[in-house]
Chains A and B, each alone.
Chain A
Amino acid sequence: MSKDQFKTRLQIAKNKLSRKNQKNNGKNSSSIGAAFKLSTELVAAVAVGTIIGFILDNTFGTKPWLIIIFFFVGVIAGIINVVRSAKNMQN
């Protein structure tokens, strides 16, 4: 096969590929990945908040107040995380 022939074949293949890519634009695997991302974001922030509250409670001896406060702060942080990453996805 000569080099010219190869180049035209490569061009045809590239054109086909780009057309195909345009077709499934928007529903590629990255959008499913983004959906997985949201689910754990909320839970992790709540867990971290509760753990921080637990540690602070043990060091200051203020059971059970700080764990309650930090649990709710963690919930807020989780919701903010989810909203923020959802906003990032839209851009």
Chain B
Amino acid sequence: MAANPMTQFEVYRIGPEIKIGAFDISFTNASLFMVVSSFAILLIFNLGSKKNSLLPNKLQLLAELSYTFVSKMINDTAGSKARPYFAFIFSLFMFVLFCNMFGMIPYTFTVTSHIIVTFMLAAFIFIGVTVIGFMKHGLGYLKLFVPSGVPAILLPLIVIIEIISYLSRPISLSVRLFANMMAGHTMMKVFGGFVISLGIVGGWLPLSFSVALTGLEILVAFLQAYVFAILTCIYLNDALNLHH
């Protein structure tokens, strides 16, 4: 009986224990769902782009819609200079979206409800964007921390503030996704527990809440993937077009 709403986030090992040195790299249920969602993406886009008919079938429509959606998002937020990074942002968006959506199926594991997963994604983006910024502008990228038109006395304080706000990007990016997914799934579990404990007499109210929450969670799953991708675009835009 899973009365504890947090047991759904438990990571356990599947198969044999694999150790390299002090690191435990065994295959867990989290790894399983990452593999499953990656393969689902590969399958959908391979089948969807197999035959390019004028009247698309459902899979082709799905593939084309998501392509134009991400392409429009990049053009709107980061401009045409960000075109070369389309493949990265597209796969990032699709991966987060599929992980979130797979988590909505009962008895599955939500990979993105773990801070370490989202933080690794965000840290990778953060390091990548910083490297791109330095590659494009050289040391001039440090101008990002020195806004123009600030009196000299205030400058040290402003620079510290700018550095803190730059460093807070990966944390706000990862915490947002992780907190939204975890809070939503915990809430659904709690309401599910109410249905059981109140029984056939009083269980109908929490059941209706559960139904509403499921709809809300699907919206949040999509929205958080969208926000994750659009913020990557915004950070990329800062690195590509320096203006402060």
Contacts and interface: CB of A to CB of B under 8 A. Distances in A.
Contacts of B161: 73, 76-77, 80
Contacts of B175: 40, 43-44
B176 A45 contact: no
B179 A40 contact: yes
Interface of B: 54, 157, 160-162, 164-165, 167-169, 171-172, 175-176, 179-180, 222-224, 226-227, 230-231
Given A41-B168, A48-B167, A74-B164, A29 B223 contact: yes
24 contacts: A29-B223, A30-B226, A30-B230, A32-B223, A33-B223, A33-B226, A36-B176, A37-B227, A39-B176, A40-B172, A41-B168, A41-B172, A43-B175, A44-B175, A52-B164, A73-B157, A73-B160, A73-B161, A73-B164, A77-B161, A77-B165, A77-B168, A80-B165, A81-B165
Contacts of B162: 77
A70 B165 CA distance: 12
A11 B222 CA distance: 30
Contact of B164 (A32, A43, A48): A48
Interface in A16-47: 29-30, 32-33, 36-37, 39-41, 43-45, 47
Closest 9 CB pairs of A and B: A44-B172, A44-B168, A44-B171, A45-B168, A77-B164, A33-B227, A40-B176, A40-B172, A48-B168
